A and B are shown apart, each in its own frame.
Chain A
């Protein structure tokens, strides 16, 4: 690869990593509160559709981004109403939300835009190079010549880290995820914290979806979330439930996906399925290599109610 190709590779790695980073950062907060939201995929696809509809209706991708985040919040709200409000099983509820989200967005899309076969063209979110930073050799263009949603992810990682580990609210949130009884005894409203954390995670997943539609693809397609909700959950594990590491893990996964395209493009002679598997194999290796020592919040996926 020459210089330009490497720059291209890095740029597409970051571009593929950003939606994962957004969704995974939100899920990090959700999981730290003891809730695993398998319905993340549902929030992402709803965010993509919401983004498309909002951007078309107002002709402004910024409105689309907001609509996408709201759609993600709405889906997570449904999940939270069942899993936290009623204490239903989180895995089953989340799976239902994902399947329902994929189906419903497909149906709405068909009804609204018809099955004409021609792809929808959306007003896209242009990339906004950051002065100076985007001129840094090699990584400048890759990291700092992206859509504004990327910068949201960069800013959120340290902000969420600070929130989790340096504020009283963060301490309460972590306590709720580790030992809800102890948190309750200390006066923390366990279910309220979980509700807020889940809805926040849904909002970021919706943002990730809007980014996919408006910055990535410039269109909406049924099922375009393509399993990113599940990958984001794996990225949270890879990042050890720490926002800073989660951002790195998302970019790592993005780079691994980009590598796959590049290896194919450069005509390495191997069945394409092997290339498709590459990001997952690399992620597994990373998981085995260094995440072994970390562990999930102790009360993850366990419903809770006071007596």
Chain B
């Protein structure tokens, strides 16, 4: 077997009373892409942060290149050839993409960005992930931030590349591009670790799999030894329920739900100056009891469309009609969905405090709000000791559950969902899909904006593609990955 580049043995780590890792093992070999699997809160991010020098373990040993190491800082890990692309992006919002790439790379009195620009351009050409180098990071969408986070790790030219959920917001062609690169890197004798929740994706690229459950390594194997349902059982200790979440191909929806009355209406709406391209003369009716699915490559205006429908930006021209009971699952839970320094109850109250049922004259009904937060905590199986823990201390998937649970509960007329299952594990994604179907059955209109074509095709009654600020409806006959994919890139098969 090939050379072991890094070996983690019996890693333990707790945060206060929460045990995040409880004897996790991981062996990374040269020439291998290693898939790290596990339910939300299993400890994947914590383990990767230990490898990357971000966190010190309470117990266990780390060996790199045959010798035992104890990283005090991320720089020490990097010196050993380890680079990490974080799930919770480690970016400086107020600085440019280029400056973010240069941070830590250049040192001393040197001009930090000069050499980096050329290197970054070369790298972007090679792997086909593009980010505008001179934009400020806080003006980027979540997809660009993700691409930047990956590029940043790659620029360090690591021997061990660690990618924590890099694919959740990438377009399908970008994912295949990234995977091709990972294979090349492995062929050069490097090791790659990759976290992803969609198993078909992981199986496409991984040479070896490790499954974490409750902070412990429960399975270490090669693909082929286990079927997908076995892996899911190892991850969540239960039987899989939803074909989309497991990532096996699903048929597009064939039976159309009957539309109810119109619940939201855009009438030749234009938006200029928003994120991505401007919206031009977009018209759309959202009907009760139906799901409108919008697919599109980031930057084509779907962000503006979602913000417009959520009432977060106003139209430059045209008219917008929106209902009262509106829920919005934004693309980035950490910047738009939650306040990290608030506890779960406060985060729930943030969205519900204007709802009459939670008001009592000038006062808020805190007991009701707390009860509501507790309901979300239970129903969505949020892994937190209580609703008074800070949102920032939850794992990524558990943060997503709080946002989704809260917004589903206030969407009595309309739900706008951007990548609602981003970061959710197999079981949670299945549950959220079921919840969306249930919500639709009660007569709520849903707009689903997602980079995940399978999700769009499986949940939607009508499918649209967004290209260069225009909304094109996909003909029934073209509702396939290929058909929609071609349309997103500006092909035919549709009418406006």
Contacts and interface: CB of A to CB of B under 8 A. Distances in A.
A179 B93 contact: yes
B86 interface: yes
Interface string A155-186: 00000000000111111101100110111111
B92 A168 contact: no
A179 B86 contact: no
Contacts of B107: 168-169
Main secondary structure of the interface of B (DSSP, over half): loop
A169 B55 contact: no
Interface string B207-228: 0000000000000000000000
Given A168-B102, A174-B95, A182 B90 contact: yes
B104 A187 contact: yes
Given A167-B112, A171-B112, A186 B106 contact: no
Contacts of B111: 166-168
Interface string A227-249: 00000000000000000000000
Contacts of B73: 184, 187, 189, 306
B90 A185 contact: yes
Main secondary structure of the interface of A (DSSP, over half): helix
A301 interface: no
Contacts of A186: 74, 90, 103-104
B316 to A, nearest CB: 22
Interface in A120-176: 166-172, 174-175
A271 to B, nearest CB: 44
A182 B112 contact: no
B378 to A, nearest CB: 29
Nearest to B56: A307
Contacts of B102: 168, 171
Contact of B54 (A183, A185, A189): A185
A298 B94 contact: yes
B109 interface: yes
Contacts of A170: 112
Interface residues of A, number: 24
A287 interface: no
A182 B92 CA distance: 6
A99 B9 CA distance: 53
B109 A307 contact: no
B110 interface: yes
A171 B109 contact: no
Contact of B91 (A182, A189, A297): A182
Contacts of B407: none
B78 interface: yes
Contacts of A298: 93-94
B92 A183 contact: yes
Across the A-B interface, the 10 shortest Cβ-Cβ residue pairs: A187-B75, A186-B104, A185-B90, A168-B106, A168-B112, A182-B90, A179-B92, A187-B104, A186-B103, A171-B112
Interface of B: 52, 54-56, 73-75, 78, 84, 86, 89-95, 99-100, 102-104, 106-113
6 contacts: A174-B92, A174-B95, A179-B94, A185-B74, A188-B103, A307-B54
Given A182-B91, A183-B92, A184-B74, 13 more contacts: A166-B111, A167-B110, A168-B111, A171-B102, A171-B113, A175-B103, A179-B90, A181-B90, A185-B90, A187-B73, A298-B93, A298-B94, A307-B55
